[in-house]
């Protein structure tokens, strides 16, 4: 009998998730009911947002239940289907779990994808997936950079940040990135075409404030904020009047008590806006966004990287990379 | 010889301003140069924003210099004029100082006012002044409440908050206020027509979160934020999708190290917006806003209160009321 290996949440993390918070367990491959499909997951997308779902806190999605497999977006192949529109062999993508086999119900987030039009089916988890769509809608709908504006991006070497920066450059903005370590900063300039890079490592809030000021001598008009913490406070010190901050993530605050943002008064003094956003608000435009990103890739205007670790047994160390910053590109776990 | 008694900043406050940070000093009445007018100040507006100007921190206005009189909006009478459009005897209003006589230059913030059309010239510092305009533009331009929305106001018994709440009611919103102590909460309901009031006194962030949840069972659509601190964190826990927070002030954070707002992640989860604002962005519409407020007062649709302390020698205790919360209405210092 085929077994279903699953990556279970078995304890609520306190701070940074520990290996002991998870358990790998084998279960029977589930049977499907009416309107359901059985999916053999090939790849799982490992995203910072997953950390939020592990806490027992109400949010835009319910917490992952203890004993259940960890929620993730996956790409896979339909093995069996009781749902109209899905046939065995179809490639699909959806909000499933880190496990070899998932059951999805018609009317959920699962949709068919065309594996033939992309260089790799993993692209649906990177440039055409949630991270690519986050960059696309965050930049083109939330922030709308204009030529000549100074556009600061935190977590800039990450999957979302590196694409957001390139989209900013395509709009004509001066793009400055914050990243951890000289190698990532070099990649921002050399690989992604940023105008300037700031290494946050080893800097306290004063040093970071000074470094941002030096890299943004005309102040900051737009921010794509992925990180929060002292970087956001340092950023707020340099915003221009009517600055717009797209709040995409606060990864520095997900694993402990939140730092506490102290410089919100700058929003008043600069008549500035922070707008939190989720790509789910653009749900009816995912196809449009994915096609726009795919077109930019095909035209050689957008570079993206995927960091693929192999095997469900490596789910924990692969997930941890997101918080260590040791991944280079969109973090994906190969399950087949 | 007439003397000019002045309320000088002589030490930078550390935390809550102390009496020892200020000095009352007598100086000669200043002479005026070309394009200048001499104003006999009758009333000074004491506002929380003044606290920010006392720190040596660059902001939307330069810091008050040590040894100079404390900046404030005043209403007074022109004593002498070298400026076209201003004649002795004219009532004027402008950004001057807490002193008996101020010199204003043409092209600054000083403008003539009509003392005959208002019940009291102090109305130019309250309902038709900065606080009234802050409530008017904050509610009608920044937040734009709609019928049926839940509209939460912090610092609700204050001059701005009480007017903002009444404007929210006029727009058909359900208005909930946060204030300190049962007497102020009673005033919110009885005098200003709020639908519910929350007493923040004696509550930690958990208790305040619970109280806000009980007072806003359908969540919060709009926030007029005057206070910051744990109240803002508690508020963020209850915001609805696409909530809009107008950030007008952070008075709880002006006198010490900022609290640090920990729940910004709720902005992401709820796709919500914080918009900092200053009334200076509506400078060219002040007359329109003042007239709109005056009309509501004349129609009996808007109640406002003024708390007038007398004498420049009482400038410090009067200013301190803003941070003790012991004023009942717009805090004004009578100078003549």
State the pLDDT at residue A129: 87
B260 contacts in chain A (CB < 8 Å): 258-262
CB-based contact (8 Å) between B261 and chain A?
yes
A218 C-beta neighbours (distance < 10 Å), count: 11
State the pLDDT at residue B60: 80
Average pLDDT score over chain A: 94
Evaluated on CA atoms B235, B237, B240, B242, the torsion sign reads positive
Average pLDDT score over chain B: 94
| C-alpha R_g of chain A | 20
Answer whether residue B102 shows pLDDT above 90: yes
CB-based contact (8 Å) between A188 and chain B?
no
State the pLDDT at residue B254: 74
**Partner-chain contact B269 A253, CB within 8 Å:** no
State the pLDDT at residue B257: 73
The string over B12-39, giving b where at least 16 C-beta atoms fall within 10 Å of a residue's C-beta and e elsewhere, is ebeeebeeebbeeeeeebeebeeebbbb
Residue-wise pLDDT tens digits, A57-93? 877 789 999 999 999 999 999 999 999 999 999 999 9
CA A198 to chain B, closest CA, distance in angstroms equals 24
Domains, chain A: 3-126+305-334 (3.90.180.10), 130-280 (3.40.50.720)
State the pLDDT at residue A329: 86
pLDDT category at B108 given cuts 50, 70, 90 is: confident
Residue-wise pLDDT tens digits, B269-307? 999 999 999 998 998 998 899 989 989 988 999 999 999
Mean local confidence (pLDDT), B64-78: 97
Which residue is it, tokens 């077109």? A295
Answer whether residue B1 shows pLDDT above 70: no
Ranges in chain A, pLDDT < 70: 1
A267 contacts in chain B (CB < 8 Å): 247, 274-276
State the pLDDT at residue B195: 98
Helix axes A159-170, A130-137, angle to 10 degrees: 40
A256 contacts in chain B (CB < 8 Å): none
Residue-wise pLDDT tens digits, B162-200? 999 999 999 999 999 999 999 999 999 999 999 999 999
CA B275 to chain A, closest CA, distance in angstroms equals 4
Alpha carbon distance A177, A88 (integer Å): 44
Instruction: Name the 3-class secondary structure at A138.
Output: helix
The minimal CB distance from A268 to the residues B260, B272, B278 is found for: B278
Alpha carbon distance A196, A306 (integer Å): 23
Backbone angles phi, psi at A292, to 5 degrees: -60, -45
Alpha carbon distance B86, B65 (integer Å): 28
Cβ-based neighbours of A287, under 8 Å, separated by 6 or more: none
Do A151 and A168 meet the contact criterion of CB atoms below 8 Å apart?
yes
Residue-wise pLDDT tens digits, A216-249? 999 999 999 999 999 999 999 999 999 999 999 9
State the pLDDT at residue A181: 95
State the pLDDT at residue B141: 97
The minimal CB distance from B264 to the residues A257, A261, A266 is found for: A261
CB-based contact (8 Å) between B228 and chain A?
yes
């Amino acid at each position: 009998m085929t077994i279903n290996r699953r990556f279970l949440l078995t304890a609520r993390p306190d701070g940074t998730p520990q290996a002991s918070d998870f358990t790998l367990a084998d279960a029977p491959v589930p049977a499907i009911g009416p309107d359901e499909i059985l999916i053999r997951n090939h790849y799982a997308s490992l995203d910072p947002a997953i950390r939020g779902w592990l806490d027992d806190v109400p949010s835009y999605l319910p917490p992952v239940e203890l004993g259940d497999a960890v929620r993730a977006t996956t790409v896979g192949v339909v093995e069996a289907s009781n749902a109209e529109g899905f046939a065995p062999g179809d490639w699909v993508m959806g909000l499933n779990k880190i496990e070899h086999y998932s059951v999805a119900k018609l009317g959920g987030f699962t949709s068919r994808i065309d594996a033939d039009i992309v260089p790799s089916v993993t692209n649906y988890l990177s440039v055409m997936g949630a991270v690519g769509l986050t960059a696309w809608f965050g930049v083109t709908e939330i922030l709308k950079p204009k030529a000549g504006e100074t556009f600061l991006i935190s977590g800039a070497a990450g999957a979302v940040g590196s694409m957001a920066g390139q989209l900013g450059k395509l709009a004509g903005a001066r793009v400055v990135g914050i990243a951890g370590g000289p190698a990532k900063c070099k990649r921002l300039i050399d690989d992604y075409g940023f105008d300037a890079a700031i290494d946050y490592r080893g800097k306290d809030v004063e040093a970071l404030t000074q470094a941002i000021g030096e890299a943004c001598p005309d102040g900051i008009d737009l921010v794509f904020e992925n990180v929060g913490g002292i970087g956001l406070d340092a950023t707020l010190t340099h915003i221009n009047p009517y600055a717009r901050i797209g709040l995409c993530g606060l990864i520095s605050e997900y694993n402990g008590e939140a730092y506490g943002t102290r410089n919100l008064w700058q929003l008043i003094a600069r008549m500035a806006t922070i707008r939190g956003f989720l790509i789910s608000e653009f749900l009816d435009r995912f196809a449009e966004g994915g096609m726009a990103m795919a077109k930019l890739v095909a035209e050689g205007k957008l570079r993206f990287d995927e960091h693929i670790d192999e095997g469900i047994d490596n789910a924990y160390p692969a997930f941890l990379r997101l918080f260590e910053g040791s991944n280079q590109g969109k973090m994906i776990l190969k399950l087949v």
